[in-house]
Amino acid sequence: MSTMARKKTFAVIGLGRFGTSVLNELIELDNEVLAIDINDERVNEVSNIASHSIICDTTDEDALVNIGIKNIDHVVVAIGDNVQASILTSLILKELNVEEITVKAQNDYHERVLKKIGITDIIHPEQDMGKRIARRISSRFISDTLELSKKYSLVELKATDKIINKKLIELNLRNKLGINIVALKRNDDILIPEADDYIKENDIIIIVGSNFSIEKFEKYLIS
C-alpha cells in the first residue's frame, strides 16, 4: 500500500485581477491549479500559466460536475461583481461536498448569505489591504501588519534606540506590555531570537500581540 500523499489540487473560479493574482501565486508555489471563467478571453489570457484552463458558467451544476470539480480539494471563488453568480456557485460547490472553499465577498450582504450556506472561509481582500496600508502609513514604525483576529495582529516594526543593543530578556516585553517578539529580520535573514539575543540597529522586529498592546508598544518605542 502506498503511503505517498497525493498533491493537493486547486481551482480558481473568476479570473479578474484578484483571481488571476491568486492563480499566479498558487502556480508560483508549485501547485496544480485549474483556472475557470465564463469569459473565453479571460480563460485564454491565463492558459499559458494555469495547469488547465476551462470556459465554464459555474452557476450550471452539470457543467461544473463535467469539468471534474469534485476532484479538486480547494476551490477559490473570485467572482466579484456578480454577487448572485458567486452565491450560486458557492452553494453548488457546498452541495457537491468540495472539501475546502474560499470565497471573496463583495459586501456585507454577500458575506451574510455566504455564511448562511455554510461557507466559513470568506475573504475581503480590498478591505484587508486597505487596513494594512492605513496602519503602515499612519505609523512611524510599522512596516507591515497581518490581522490574526479582530483583536490580535502580527506586526513588523523598525527597532528604535529604545530597544537597540538590549537583550530580549532585559526588555521583558511579554510581561511588561503583553508583546511577543517572534522573529527578527536582519539583513534579509529571519532569526528566531533567544532570550539572550540582542536587538541590533536596522533590525525589523516581528511581534504578535493584541492591538491594544501593540499601540502601547509603539508609544514605548519613542518614550
Contact positions toward ligand ATP, by CB under 6 A? 13-19, 37-39, 42, 57-59, 78-82, 85
Residue 42 or 74: which CB sits closer to ligand ATP? 42
- The residues that bridge with 152 in the sheet, in sequence order, are 210
Residue 44: CB minimum distance to ligand ATP, A? 12
Residue 87 or 206: which CB sits closer to ligand ATP? 87
Residue 38: CB minimum distance to ligand ATP, A? 4
Query: For residue 210, which of 147, 134, 119 has the smallest C-alpha distance?
Result: 147
Kindly report the backbone phi and psi dihedral angles of residue 83, in degrees, each rounded to the nearest multiple of 5, phi listed first: -60, -40
Place of cell 458567486: 86
* DSSP codes, 188-210: TEEE---TTPBP-TT-EEEEEEE
DSSP-derived secondary structure letter, 198: B
Residue 38 or 155: which CB sits closer to ligand ATP? 38
CA 205 – CA 182 distance, rounded (Å): 8
CB contact at 8 A, 161 and 125:
no
CB contact at 8 A, 33 and 13:
no
Residue 46: CB minimum distance to ligand ATP, A? 10
- Cell readout for 67 is 469539468
For the chain, the farthest-separated pair of C-alpha atoms sits apart, in whole angstroms, at 64
Residue 216: CB minimum distance to ligand ATP, A? 36
Residue 143: CB minimum distance to ligand ATP, A? 26
Residue 58: CB minimum distance to ligand ATP, A? 4
Residue 78 or 206: which CB sits closer to ligand ATP? 78
How, if at all, do strands 100-104 and 121-123 pair?
parallel
Residue 85 or 168: which CB sits closer to ligand ATP? 85
Query: Is 85 in a helix, a strand, or coil?
Result: helix
Nearest position to ligand ATP, beta carbon? 16
Residue 86 or 153: which CB sits closer to ligand ATP? 86
